[in-house]
Structure 1
Amino acid sequence: MSQLTHDSAVLVVGGGTWGCSVALQLARRGYKNITVLDSHPIPSPIAAGNDVNKIMEEGSPSSSDSDEEYVWNRMHQLATNAWKTDSVFRPFYHPTGFIMAASQEATYPDIDASMRACKGKIRPLASPADFQATMPDGVLTGSFPGWKGFLQETGAGWVFARGAVEAAYNEALRLGVRFLADHVKGKVLRLIYSSTDVIGAQTADGREHRADQVILCAGANSDQLFDFERQLRPTAWTLAHIQMTEEERCLWKDLPVLFNVNSGFFIEPDAQNGELKFVDEHPGYCNFVRDPESGEEKSIPFAKHQIPVQSEQKAREFLRETVPQIAERPFSFARICWDADTPDRQFLIDRPPKYKSLVVAVGGSGNGFMMMPAIGIAVADVLEGVIEPKLKHGFRWRPETAVDRDWRDTQHRHGGDETVRDFQKVDEWTHIGEL
């Protein structure tokens, strides 16, 4: 990329987790003319990264890794290094440990495989007493019916998501990045094309933002701005909070993440508001809408700070199995959280072959936040043409993987009724905080 210089105009479309990471990394590499567009102030209330916590697992590549494993472990290595040593990201990583479990026989082999692959110190868990002993008395009071799993004592935990996004945003600002983040000046309506390339983006105020290089990292909404040839399926998950008492907050501090592939997970109460976040596990929701012109069915994201009652019920079932003492409390917060799945659940970070000035950085596939620091590195390397060959191949533009794609493929996720759900078929939503 000989035409790329530190004075080149770089336009980043999307100011969420990946957009802030990309902007920060480019600014650290000396790029002086970076503009980020987003339709909401950062952190956006609809961004997946605007969250109290996300699961974090460490990792490192080895000589025995397959190419696919190498890509995964190399990104883990880059991210882990940043979460542990980078002044921007280090304050937000809590290596509290991670409990992985299953409660249905069909998924026990998955747990066994994860335990064999785990590089950290582990403790097998085979009885309710084993699970209860992983946390202080009075926390895990449930009966854990059919649960089997293990505690990874080292090499995993959680990160304070919103704090990390805000820190990356503020440091990028300090380094000179320009953010236009509101419903008018920052809302991108379309990309701007020349006869042969992408040359910018138009915002809701009518302004055309032209640039030498455009980076599209608008999460689940990216598919509304560019044709990904069925490589992206916007998929949503459901989360909720319960308000904890001050005594409970102290008792529940520094606990390992508790994750069951069949029913859900929770992470310790957040330090700011003392709320416990939990998620009911399922293969995801889509919002299937058929285009009246092409007849093609697509999943179209939308924002909502409520969840389907079906998810509330499943979340309470998970709490009854683990922490029944709080399972019937009212929810203090809930929302749907969008990501975008690629067919193989590997990231898509590449230049589409027809457009030399466009880089797409999409396809978090449920793993995007823990990789936040590494994403900025990967995108900057693609922009500069220096990305590692194995990462380049793993993140390549690959529409051949989406031919005849099954939009309802669970992609090896479990929980609920083991199907991808459709928001168009939701009968009832929660009414948290509504009069």
Structure 2
Amino acid sequence: MNRRALLKGLAVSPFIAYNETGSTKSPFGSMHVAVIGSGAFGCWTALNLVEQGVQVTLIDPWGPGNSRSSSGGESRLIRSVYGANPIYTQWVQRSFELWLKLQKQAGQRIYFPTGLLWMFSGDDELMQESLPVVEKAGYRIDTLPMNHAEKQFPHINFSDVKSVYYEHSAGYLLSRVACQIIEDRVCKLGGRVIREAALPIHQLSGGLDKITLADGASLYADHFVFACGPWLGQLLPDLLQPIIIPTRQDVLFFGLPEHSEYTQSMPSWVNIGDRIFYGMANPENRGFKVADHSAGDVINPTTVDRTVDIASLKRASEFLSHRFPDLDGAPLVESRVCQYENSPDTHLVIDQYPDADNAWVVGGGSGQGFKISPAVGEYVCSRILERVDHEPLFGISRFL
């Protein structure tokens, strides 16, 4: 049987999706869902579906955690501070549970509980709005008097910092490794993976019965989940090109001194001032990570040259020298050009495509999606299986 015939046959010849005990019984065993994109959103959606016995095909041309993807790179922060709306903190809470469950299943460390130091050079409204929500969820955040902060973290220059907070349960996740683990698990449970790109879809209305792949093959399914991050605007241009905007985000790693105490004593950190910088001491022994949360230039994630911008490097180096004086003059040892896939209001976009209720859009991570991707995948699965109601905050209609 040729590959094209095989793909078409998936719609009419259900393959078996096994659960952990080997049982093949599932009320959803005849449902086939195609998930386009094997980043964090796509992989977690696929995993949740296949665990329910749904037939799943996961499609991505370059694979999980690849260097073009929003889920690429080695590390991502996980924290509970999201402002006054409780849904994100609740999803962090659920995601923590699922990350730890995955870590146990994989027998491989994914989560590193470093704690997180929040430094505000100006208004700390974000923290003030977040504290009641975070405390209600059971997370501990300490307000640090400046003299205590200076004593506890002597490597940091707090001269222009107005307020400091320490979030105990925060830390970082291994992003690329996690995506690879999840996709492997999807396959272990009976899911299928296709290393191919999907072609753009125009004038989508009245439902979707198939997508066309770059090699000309057709893939049929009952539902289609478009979780392809910065490519959403390219794949569904009529709707999403003006809504999902991919921007370049330079990530820099600076060399640490020999026998550096930073790896033992330095928590992960966020610095909110004229710009928002964040980082961590030495993830995966890469060096001292510094990243700028401010949105960069709009890019094409497929064709952009991923050489770090000189102006970006200069800003990061100047910030590093000021905030962490012991690292003044530290050499750049590694760099990456990642990207955000931003929505206009920075909230997630998780909804059915207008006039095509079996096509699902999952994106708009806006730099905050990876950490809550387990909860996102669980929610998308539950929506497809009609177990939960639509969350208006994530609806596409707010942009139409």
Paired position in structure 2 for 1:408: none
Q: CA deviation at 1:376?
A: 1.1
Paired position in structure 2 for 1:294: none
Q: Describe the superposition over 1:30-89 as per-residue Cα deviations: whole angstroms up to 9, x where unpaired.
A: 11x3111112133212112222221112489xxxx9xx8242233222212213344358
Which of 137, 142, 145 is 1:123 aligned to? 142
Paired position in structure 2 for 1:95: 113
Paired position in structure 2 for 1:427: none
Matching of residue 36 in structure 1 with residue 58 in structure 2: yes
Q: CA deviation at 1:362?
A: 1.0
**What amino acid is the match of 2:118?**
M
| RMSD of aligned residue pairs (Cα, Å) | 2.8
Q: CA deviation at 1:286?
A: 3.1
Q: CA deviation at 1:118?
A: 4.3
Task: Tell me the distance in 1 between the aligned counterparts of 2:174 and 2:264.
Answer: 14
Paired position in structure 2 for 1:394: 393
**What amino acid is the match of 2:267?**
P
Paired position in structure 2 for 1:216: 226
Instruction: Report matched runs for 1:358-377 at 5 Å.
Output: 358-377=359-378
Aligned residues: 364
CA contact (8 A) 1:82 1:373 kept: yes
**What amino acid is the match of 1:79?**
S
SS at match of 1:6: coil
Paired position in structure 2 for 1:151: 165
Task: Tell me the distance in 1 between the aligned counterparts of 2:133 and 2:325.
Answer: 32
SS at match of 2:109: helix
Q: CA deviation at 1:378?
A: 0.9
Paired position in structure 2 for 1:430: none
Task: Tell me the distance in 2 between the aligned counterparts of 1:134 and 1:55.
Answer: 21
Matching of residue 45 in structure 1 with residue 56 in structure 2: no
Matching of residue 196 in structure 1 with residue 193 in structure 2: no
**What amino acid is the match of 1:50?**
G
Task: Tell me the distance in 2 between the aligned counterparts of 1:195 and 1:396.
Answer: 17
Task: Tell me the distance in 2 between the aligned counterparts of 1:377 and 1:336.
Answer: 29
CA contact (8 A) 1:101 1:111 kept: no
CA contact (8 A) 1:245 1:274 kept: no
SS at match of 2:31: coil
Task: Tell me the distance in 2 between the aligned counterparts of 1:377 and 1:365.
Answer: 19
Between 1:88-97 and 1:166-175, the stretch displaced more is 88-97
| Percentage identity across paired residues of the two chains | 21
More helix by share: 2
Task: Tell me the distance in 1 between the aligned counterparts of 2:205 and 2:320.
Answer: 56
Q: Describe the superposition over 1:272-300 as per-residue Cα deviations: whole angstroms up to 9, x where unpaired.
A: x4422211342x0132xxxxxxxxxxx64
Which of 276, 296, 299 is 1:285 aligned to? 296
Q: CA deviation at 1:154?
A: 2.1
| Pair 316,393 (structure 1): closer, same or farther in 2 beyond 3 Å | same
SS at match of 2:279: strand
Paired position in structure 1 for 2:316: 315
SS at match of 2:30: coil
Q: CA deviation at 1:216?
A: 0.3
SS at match of 1:332: strand
Unmatched tracts of structure 2, length 5 or more = 1-26
Paired position in structure 2 for 1:432: none
Paired position in structure 2 for 1:242: 254
